[in-house]
Amino acid sequence: MLLTIALIVKNEIKHIQKCMDALSELRKLMDFQLIITDTGSDDGTDTVAEKYADVFQRFEWCDDFSAARNESFKAAKGKWYMFLDADEYLCEPEKLADFFNSGEYKKYRSAAYIQRNYYSQEGGGYADAYISRMTRIFPETRFKGRVHEGLYPIYEPVKMLGFHVDHYGYVRENGVNEEKSRRNLKLLMLEYGAGNITDTLITQIADGYMNLGEFRQCIEFCTENGGKAGGIYRYILLARRVTAHILLKEYDEALKTAEEYSDGHEEQGLDLEIYYNKGVCLYSTGRHRECAEAFAAYAQLYERLNRDRERYAATEYEQLYADRASLARAADMAYEAACSEYASGERGYMRLYDCMKAAAQVSSLLGEGQAMAAAYYIYAYSCAVNKSRDFVQALRMFAASAPQFAAEAKELLGFAKSVMGQ
């Protein structure tokens, strides 16, 4: 047996069947052992789980997720171990099966895959996180952490697998998410109070405050503990402070913190969050050109990240704003900022040119919508006024994005000839 997949469940009747259906698709492609441990369901979850599990067991809940996971781990028969939650649905099972069926697993000691965290049951907006939830089983392999538990140690080399699981655990519904968040923060603070302080624990507590909407407490905690966190975790805490300041509408403080974040590090996927949030701050404070430029930087990194996910993959943080819903919001804000610059009456055409060029960059990635066509139109217009060599390219982009406006494109070409003397 190559693989054991394990879940701990409690009152997941809304999700358990869909989770099992997804794993049944994997069963068609490879053999694996499925262990399900129930920690006290009273809604029928256990009845469904028993039908699918190779090993089904019960565990008395003791406010310790690792204790439940380790009990499940004792029954593992596979050479590799993977764990899931009941509200996660495995997508693209063929990629996981191929990792084992092809023998590629022999080159690695652990693996990570993408957890796609949705903001609503309907899907739409989401954030991606590479999570290390698969490992070859070693004598020392165990779960650690009272909450947000993980497998330790995770040895290199780590294979970044291309598949993802759809996860709905962050969805707020009838107060359930808030209840879980308060439970989790309480358990995290118990670990912190006991002196079991790690970089991961500090960032999880910061996220706990954010999930509960306790933004001031998040800022204070991140500021107090920022010096204790090393490497990427220092930047994660700075990013949380930026977001918290924005949600408190403290835009100047957010921008100051963003500058502190930007000081002296190589490009990383977390930068996407900072570029986006800088754009939001500048949009909210009426700094139109800088806003469009921030979103242009966001769009450029968005394109690189989605073209080469493995290069920017990280298991330490959730990748925010890498979805098309976020890109659409960025395009709207960049376009509105550019239009505000155009309507300001200053007729600072070089400022307008730069602003519209930035807005068009964002819109072009989205590849749809009237806003993109409008951005290209005004960009081409400002190119003409500035007698820029970019006019021809800008006009082509406008014509390609909005073929129904052929008459407007012809009129714009005539205007450019008269202004540029060509």
DSSP code per residue over 132-175: EEEEE--TT-EEE-SSS-EEE--PSSEEEEEEEEEE-TT---TT
Q: Start-end ranges of CATH 3.90.550.10 in the chain? A: 3-167
- The CATH number of 3-167, from 3.30.70.2190, 3.90.550.10, 3.20.20.70, 3.90.1170.50, is 3.90.550.10
CA angle 84, 21, 68 (to 5 degrees): 25
| Stretch(es) of the chain classified as CATH 1.25.40.10 | 172-265
CA angle 214, 265, 288 (to 5 degrees): 65
What is the reported pLDDT for 138? 96
Instruction: Specify the pLDDT at position 33.
Output: 98
Pure H helices in 264-369: 271-284, 288-307, 309-312, 324-343, 349-366
pLDDT beneath 70: ranges in the chain? 122-124, 170-176, 315, 338-339, 341-376, 378-379, 401-402, 404-405, 419-422
| Assigned CATH topology for domain 172-265 | 1.25.40
pLDDT at position 370: 55
265: CB partners within 8 A, 6+ apart: 235
Q: What is the pLDDT of residue 22?
A: 96
**Which DSSP symbol is given to 289?**
H
Residue 350 has a pLDDT of: 44
Cα separation, 20 vs 2, in Å, equals: 19
Q: pTM higher than 0.85 for the full model?
A: no
* Amino acid present at 281: C
Class of domain 287-422: mainly alpha
SS3 of residue 24 by DSSP? helix
Phi-psi domain of 231 (left: phi exceeds 0; alpha: psi -120 through 50; beta: other): left
Give CA–CA dist 29/134, Å, rounded.
18
